[in-house]
Chain A
Amino acid sequence: MVLMVDITLPMLLAVLSIGEFFSDMTLVLKIFVLMAVISYVMMHLGKGPLSIVLIVGFTYLMLFSQYAWLFEGAYILMMLLTLGVAGIFIDLFFVFPGFAAGGGGEPEAKMSSQGGVMQRMKLFHKQPGGRKLPPPM
């Protein structure tokens, strides 16, 4: 019984801590989305009654409606793409497999698509119906 309590209590605390972390980060994210909405509306419409109405409407839609997760996710995605997270995915899934798969060869030809295009052009011009390459200048 004592052993069970010894194990269960830290696990319970850890789970509660994770839940607390996620709830806090959700609140922080909602504050950032609210600030983005206020900044966007104020920048376009100034400080008038129309801007207040729009801020209230957007705030309800983006923070408290059932589609709030969609806008919060879109905000996170927009921030990450703005900061250049797409470059990591391009490196990991498009550029790097070219390096890893090819044994030898020139890295430049594998990194850029230029080598592949030149090879396809040579094959095309070797075909019977293909045009002849222009003479070198």
Chain B
Amino acid sequence: MLNIFLAIVVALIIVISLPVLVMKFVPMADLVMRIILVFLIFTTVRGYLGSGIPSIVVSGILIYFLAIKWAYFTAAAYIAVYFLLSLQVFSIIIFGIGMGMRRG
């Protein structure tokens, strides 16, 4: 039981770190991911504050920290939260590994 739990945790960590590896080894993917993050941050801030000068200022601060300085972490968190978590991919991984190890 503990082995299966550890296998699930390791698999989740590997899946979450995949975007980081892709960004590290494919420069074009790195650029595209950063552009996606910039758009995401700007649309999020615009949704909170509306269109105006404060949105641009806050977006600039957040883009510096999230899309330039800590881009790898933000990309991993974005893929994990917006794609894998909201589309229930984590549940598929948990059930797949659990059932596979139980039958094997």
A residues sitting closer than 8 Å to B (CB atoms) are 21, 24-25, 27-28, 31, 35-36, 38-39, 83-85, 87-88, 91-92, 96-97, 99-101
Q: Does B48 make an interface contact (CB < 8 A)?
A: yes
Task: Provide the B57-74 mask, 1 if CB < 8 A to any CB of A, else 0.
Answer: 010011001100110010
Report the bound CA distance from A99 to B94 in whole Å: 11
Using Cβ atoms and an 8 Å threshold, which residues of chain A touch B8?
92
Task: List 25 interface pairs A-B (beta carbons < 8 Å), by A numbering.
Answer: A21-B70, A21-B73, A24-B65, A24-B69, A31-B58, A31-B62, A35-B45, A35-B48, A35-B58, A38-B49, A39-B48, A83-B81, A83-B85, A84-B85, A84-B88, A85-B85, A87-B90, A87-B91, A88-B91, A88-B94, A91-B90, A91-B95, A92-B94, A97-B1, A99-B102
Given A83-B86, A96-B95, A100-B98, do A28 and B65 touch, yes or no (CB 8 Å)?
A: yes
B66 to chain A, nearest CB (A): 6
Closest to A85 in B: B85
The SS class assigned to the A binding surface is: helix
Using Cβ atoms and an 8 Å threshold, which residues of chain A touch B81?
83
Check B91–A36 contact: CB distance below 8 A: no
Q: Does B18 make an interface contact (CB < 8 A)?
A: no
Closest to B88 in A: A87
Check B62–A28 contact: CB distance below 8 A: yes
Check B102–A100 contact: CB distance below 8 A: yes
Check B85–A38 contact: CB distance below 8 A: no
Check B94–A91 contact: CB distance below 8 A: yes
Report the bound CA distance from A87 to B92 in whole Å: 11
Report the bound CA distance from A99 to B91 in whole Å: 14
Report the bound CA distance from A127 to B99 in whole Å: 37
Closest to A99 in B: B98
Using Cβ atoms and an 8 Å threshold, which residues of chain A touch B65?
24, 27-28
Task: Provide the B3-16 mask, 1 if CB < 8 A to any CB of A, else 0.
Answer: 01100100000000
Using Cβ atoms and an 8 Å threshold, which residues of chain A touch B95?
91, 96, 99
Closest to A97 in B: B1
Report the bound CA distance from A92 to B9 in whole Å: 10
Check A35–B90 contact: CB distance below 8 A: no
A38 in complex: contacting residue of B48, B86, B90, CB < 8 Å: B48
Given A31-B62, A36-B48, do A99 and B1 touch, yes or no (CB 8 Å)?
A: no
